[in-house]
Every structure is written in C-alpha cells, then in structure tokens.
Amino acid sequence: MASLRDIKNRITSTKKTSQITKAMQMVSAAKMNKAEMNAKSFVPYMEKIQEVTASIALGSKDVSHPMLTSRPVKKTGYLVITSDRGLAGAYNSNVLRNVYQTIQKRHKSPDEYAIIAIGRVGRDFFRKRNMNVILDIVAVADQPAFAEIKDIASKTVGMFADETFDELYMYYSHYVSAIQQDVTEKKLLPLTDISSSKKLTSYEFEPSAEEILKVLLPQYAESLIYGALLDSKASEHAARMTAMQNATDNAKELINSLSLSYNRARQAAITQEITEIVGGAAALE
C-alpha cells in the first residue's frame, strides 16, 4: 500500500490538473459562444450568394462554366479541416480517420489524390504517413476573419480551375450542438448540387451571365470553404469544452477515491500506533 505522503502528493497534483482543465473548459465555452456568433453573422452572406448563384446557374440554361461541369476524374482533392492543438477529445481523430479510410478505399497510389490541410494536427498526420499534402495552413485564429483564409481558399479553387485535381471534397466537423458534432463530407467542386429554397429571380446580366459566373463561382466556392471553417471552429471549441468537462469530472472522482484511501491509511497508522503503545504498556506490567 502507498504511503501517506505518496497519496497526498497524488491528491495535490490531481487537484492542480483539475484546475487547469476547469480553466480550459471555461475558455472553450467562451470561445464556442463567439464562434457560434461568427457562424451566425456569416449566414446572411451565404444565403444571398447561394440564392444568386442558384438563380444564375439554374435560371439560364445556356450558360456553362468549368466549375459547374463534371469532367473525368484523374485526381481528387481533399480539403481537411482540423485544429492546431489537441486536447479536444475525438474531434480531430474522427475527421482524420474518416478521410484516411476513404482515401485508402478509393485510391491505390498517392498520385491519384492531393490533400489540402487546414490545421496542424491534420497536416502532421498526413505528412507522417507520406500522403500527398500539397497545401497547408496552420495557426488559423480562433475567430478567423475571411482575409486569413482567403489565400488558401482561392488557391484551392484555382487548383481546380487549372486541373491540378478534377474534383474536390471537403471534410470537417459539423457543429450540431454543444454536445454533438458530426464529421461531414461535402463535395465542393464541381458545383453540381446548387439549389435554393427561395424563389428564383430572373436577372438582367451586366455584361453577360458568363462574365458574372466567372466572378461569382470562385467567390461562392471560397465562401463555402470559409463557412466550413467557421462551422468546424465552433465544433472544435465545443469538443474541447466537453473533453475538458469530462477531464475535470474524472479528476474529481479520482480525488475522492484518493482521499478515501488517504483517510483509511491515516486511520490504520493511528490504530497501529495505539496497538503498539498498549502492547508496550502491557509488557511493562
């Protein structure tokens, strides 16, 4: 059995850990609220751009644009959004496992796919496995502004345009609620499933529908990427909050059981001392 001092040390260190996890939980809770608000303020932009894109792409049949048409697939792009740091429960591993298995299933050689990694954990995961990471960005802020992600988003869309890959899938963790996040696979390019719930308007185009699609579609695809990033940031903070909550709870449980055995050991030591004293006194008589 562990000595009194050992148990006491373990109790103090567990207490300190639980203070840290508790603090991290509260930080994540605050960040999650903010991330949720960011995601909300993005909604009007997304809705509008979706509505206009749908009106143009579905409304006029004779327009075509490379980003709207599927072509034979020689290479597939995967855009994977993870976090920079761990301690977020299964947040990263869920996404990575899903992508990894999909790639193993669909492709035989690394020439058939390319990975674009947002977030350090994802980048390191794929690099370590010698998978083809062509573009990466790390240290994205907790409340990312569009300007931060614009570069990688437009490069990604550009790679589809110059046929580096012929289709693009996006993997991220969709924020359902504070306790539920789902790994989501979304086909980003070509944009084949544009739809709008609202009534389509027929527009005049200035100068022409083709010219507008040229500006609109990349902007639309980039905003989809940004939307996914905001969504997964909210998930990240939610996942971290839950993980830290669990850690704090576990620490408390551990402290309880350690205190119990500490008290028991202390009691045993006292009992032993008394027995020794009584035994000593009896021997003298």
Partner 1 sequence: MKTIKVSVVTPDGPVYESDVEMVSTKAQSGELGILPGHIPMVAPLQIGAVRLKNGGKTDFVAVSGGFLEVRPEQVTILAQSAEQADEIDVERAVRAKQRAEERLNEQKRENIDFRRAELALRRAINRIEVSERKF
The residues of the shown chain that bind partner 1, judged by CB under 8 A, are 38, 41-42, 44-45, 48-49, 52, 55-56, 145-147, 150, 201-207, 211-212, 214-216, 219, 222-223, 226
Nearest residue (CB) to partner 1, 45 versus 272: 45
Cα separation, 283 vs 285, whole angstroms: 6
What would the two tokens of residue 255 be? 């402290």
Nearest residue (CB) to partner 1, 46 versus 87: 46
Nearest residue (CB) to partner 1, 48 versus 71: 48
CA atoms within 13 A on the CB side of 217: 25
Query: Is 168 within 8 Å of 156 (Cβ atoms)?
Result: yes
SS (H, E, C) 103-155: HHHHCCCHHHEEEEEECHHHHHHHHHCCCCEEEEECCCCCCCCHHHHHHHHHH
Q: Considering the complex, what minimum distance in angstroms separates the CB of residue 209 from partner 1? A: 8
Q: Which uninterrupted H or E stretch holds 207? A: none
Nearest residue (CB) to partner 1, 226 versus 262: 226
Cα separation, 174 vs 91, whole angstroms: 10
CA distances from 130 to 77, 79, 115, 133, 165 (A): 16, 16, 11, 8, 19
Q: Considering the complex, what minimum distance in angstroms separates the CB of residue 87 from partner 1? A: 28
Nearest residue (CB) to partner 1, 170 versus 239: 170
Nearest residue (CB) to partner 1, 88 versus 229: 229
Q: Considering the complex, what minimum distance in angstroms separates the CB of residue 40 from partner 1? A: 9
Nearest residue (CB) to partner 1, 40 versus 71: 40
Query: Is 96 within 8 Å of 125 (Cβ atoms)?
Result: yes
Q: Considering the complex, what minimum distance in angstroms separates the CB of residue 38 from partner 1? A: 8
Q: Considering the complex, what minimum distance in angstroms separates the CB of residue 149 from partner 1? A: 9
Cα separation, 118 vs 137, whole angstroms: 5
Q: Considering the complex, what minimum distance in angstroms separates the CB of residue 61 from partner 1? A: 17
Q: Considering the complex, what minimum distance in angstroms separates the CB of residue 201 from partner 1? A: 5
Q: Considering the complex, what minimum distance in angstroms separates the CB of residue 97 from partner 1? A: 30
Q: What is the DSSP string of 53-122?
A: HHHHHHH-TT---TTTS----S-EEEEEE--SS--STTHHHHHHHHHHHHHHHH-SSGGGEEEEEESHHH
Query: Is 102 within 8 Å of 80 (Cβ atoms)?
Result: no
Nearest residue (CB) to partner 1, 167 versus 231: 231
